[in-house]
């Protein structure tokens, strides 16, 4: 593994600014959290106390009482989505899954795995779910309950679906609270949004069924993991006794990483609310810096209001894409500004991109026509596009 590549990591939402030296001795132990986090199994080397401590921290963040929630620490964000959507399917076996086209691929993977009917809902240019199209799709299927995936930060554009508007759309079109289930996929921004001033809330005081976040993204856990919370009233339909474990289980996986809860607990308590708020403000500030610098340089770019994901025209050279480990889709790419992405790193990226663009778009292509930057008006809006047609 080339650790030097970490200096250029910019396209994926991993917080690499961490130091877990104090926990290094834990690698000498095989720590396995089997089964239900709230019920001990016969395997003695576990970290359930830390796992429940982490779950309680998120329960307070998402406003649900301790005796009203159930959850566990997953192996990744995808597992959180698989569990949340399974929960919805178990509550409404004949329900239809609705998800925006820009939802994470794991949502559609869940639909295939569970053999669920799935409706893809159109998006606004920002990447946010289009509630006018959601209304149209709901009215076409009024006879079946609705299971919704709501994005708290889409994968490519970092768009946050309007949870309150989604709930209003459901209730105004014949879907009372006993006929819908909402899972909130907060993989990255689900932990950042609570620390953004005047941002809308993700809260169990609203009629949602579950929320999941990733632990290896904004939190900065060194191994993939996540947190999944749902309502205690829902989990009873999924939970079953497992004699082999001497426990109950309602998780997706059997064995679960017992190190992850300790690392998460350590970070949550070390940083606290104030520490996370400071890091969120830094990320948003640096994201605006990057977007402004790109636009000043004549490069098409967009940044959603509730996001640290800067979307811009896809670089012409795949070697540049690999060097900076950019995530691309069609004509666009993005940089996800995490706490480890400093102004110095962004300046290095901008300088190299500007120099490369001079080479990419200089001279003529093979057909004698001078190459030009791609038009990305369809992807990020004409107001954010700096191609020849939209300058």
- Cβ-proximal residues to 279 (8 Å cutoff; 6+ apart), any chain: 218, 271, 339
* Selected catalytic residue, list 255, 307, 372, 382: 307
Pairing of β 247-249 and β 240-242:
antiparallel
Phi, psi of 359 (to 5 degrees): -80, -40
174 Ramachandran zone, left/alpha/beta (phi>0; psi -120 to 50): left
**From CA 36, how far away is CA 15, in angstroms rounded?**
29
Phi, psi of 357 (to 5 degrees): -65, -30
Name the helix (H) or strand (E) containing 105: helix 105-113
Pairing of β 301-303 and β 247-249:
unpaired
**From CA 254, how far away is CA 281, in angstroms rounded?**
38
> Which residue has tokens 């993204």?
217
Name the helix (H) or strand (E) containing 262: helix 259-296
Which two three-digit tokens encode residue 28?
């000498």
> Which residue has tokens 């949602």?
208
Strands (E), the chain: 69-74, 96-100, 118-121, 146-151, 180-185, 210-214, 226-231, 240-242, 247-249, 301-303, 309-313, 327-329, 332-336
**From CA 261, how far away is CA 243, in angstroms rounded?**
25
Is position 307 annotated as part of the catalytic site? yes
Which two three-digit tokens encode residue 93?
């076996």
**From CA 88, how far away is CA 145, in angstroms rounded?**
10
How far is it between the farthest Cα atoms of the chain?
73
**From CA 11, how far away is CA 335, in angstroms rounded?**
4
Using only C-alpha atoms, the chain has a radius of gyration, in whole angstroms, of: 22
Q: Give me the active site residues, please.
A: 307
């Amino acid at each position: 593994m080339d650790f030097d590549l970490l200096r250029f990591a910019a396209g994926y939402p991993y917080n690499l600014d961490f130091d877990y030296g104090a926990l290094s001795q834990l690698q000498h132990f095989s720590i396995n959290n089997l089964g239900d986090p709230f019920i001990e199994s016969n395997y003695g080397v576990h970290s359930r106390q830390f796992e429940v401590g982490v779950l309680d921290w998120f329960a307070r963040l998402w406003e649900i009482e301790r005796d009203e929630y159930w959850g566990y620490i997953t192996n990744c964000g995808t597992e959180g989505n698989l569990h949340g959507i399974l929960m919805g399917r178990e509550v409404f076996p004949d329900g239809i899954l609705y998800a925006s086209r820009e939802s994470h691929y794991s949502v559609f993977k869940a639909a295939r795995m569970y053999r669920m009917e799935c409706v893809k809902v159109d998006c606004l240019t920002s990447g946010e779910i289009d509630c006018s199209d959601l209304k149209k799709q709901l009215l076409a299927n009024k006879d079946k309950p609705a299971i919704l995936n709501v994005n708290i930060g889409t994968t490519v554009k970092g768009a946050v679906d309007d949870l309150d508007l989604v709930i209003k759309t459901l209730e105004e079109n014949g879907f009372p609270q006993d006929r819908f289930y909402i899972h909130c996929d907060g993989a990255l921004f689900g932990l950042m949004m609570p620390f953004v001033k005047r941002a809308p809330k993700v809260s169990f005081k609203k009629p949602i069924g579950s929320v999941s976040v990733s632990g290896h993204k904004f939190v900065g856990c060194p191994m993939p993991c996540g947190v999944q919370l749902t309502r205690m009233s829902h989990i009873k339909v999924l939970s079953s006794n497992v004699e082999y474990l001497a426990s109950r289980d309602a998780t997706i996986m059997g064995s679960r990483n017992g190190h992850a809860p300790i690392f998460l607990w350590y970070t949550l308590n070390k940083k606290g609310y104030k520490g996370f708020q400071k890091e969120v403000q830094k990320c948003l500030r640096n994201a605006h810096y990057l977007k402004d610098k790109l636009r000043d340089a004549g490069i098409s770019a967009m940044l959603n209001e509730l996001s640290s994901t800067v979307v811009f025209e896809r670089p012409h050279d795949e070697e540049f894409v690999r060097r900076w480990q950019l995530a691309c889709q069609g004509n666009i790419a993005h940089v996800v500004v995490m706490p480890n992405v400093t102004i110095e790193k962004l300046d290095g990226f901008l300088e190299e991109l500007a120099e490369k663009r001079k080479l990419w778009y200089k001279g003529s292509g093979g057909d004698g026509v001078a190459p030009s930057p791609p038009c990305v008006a369809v992807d990020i809006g004409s107001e954010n596009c700096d191609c020849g047609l939209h300058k």
